[in-house]
Amino acid sequence: MQILLVEDDRDLRRFLSKAFREEGYGVTETDSGDRALERALEGGFSCVVLDVMLPGRDGFSVVAELRQRGVATPVLLLTAKDELESRVRGLELRHKDATLQVGGVSLDPLSRRVTQDDRVIDLSPREFALLEFLMRNAGRTVSRSRIAEAVWNYKFDPETNVVDVYVNYLRKKLSFGGRTAPIKTVRGVGYRLEADSGE
């Protein structure tokens, strides 16, 4: 699981980053709203931990822009403000439907429920993380190294086939009733999840 951590207080950012890494999460750090928006739009994050008070573009405007552009990545807002108005504003910016949908596959990051054409699919935690990453990057080819870093939190070892093995696990679970899993192999590069059945 890859987290985008946005905090302009360097000491607090380092503390949070260390805590997340010790729990096994991958962390990408930045310290401004503008850079946070750029990185979040690139995709590949399971969650954004975002300070509200940032130089330039504040946390609220970052979330608003992400939602306007259709980015449904869950966002955890950090704020020292205790006013009810700030809490309400943050809640209003949450995407009403955080469920990811690609083709006939739906994934709810909060309930961790996956369905395909109304059929519930049972996935292991690693399979779920892999599918979530592919869905957040739907239509884009992602390399094996990016997948390994985002899902397993380690640098890709070209000698291992763990990514390919788990992609095959997903393909089997997403293939039923004559349907072909929408995960395409891009030879020599990696994989791409498409809305239309492929391969």
Cα separation, 69 vs 13, whole angstroms: 27
Query: At a CB cut-off of 8 Å and minimum separation 6, what does 29 contact?
Result: 5, 6, 7, 13, 17
What was the pLDDT predicted at 198? Answer: 43
The pTM (predicted TM-score) of the whole model is: 0.57
Strand order in the sheet with 2-6: 26-30, 2-6, 47-51, 75-78
Mean pLDDT in each 10-residue stretch from start to end of the chain (199 residues)? 90 90 88 91 88 85 84 80 49 58 84 87 91 88 87 72 92 82 90 70
The token pair that represents 149 in the structure block: 């870093």
What was the pLDDT predicted at 184? Answer: 93
What was the pLDDT predicted at 94? Answer: 63
What was the pLDDT predicted at 186? Answer: 93
What was the pLDDT predicted at 141? Answer: 92
What was the pLDDT predicted at 88? Answer: 45
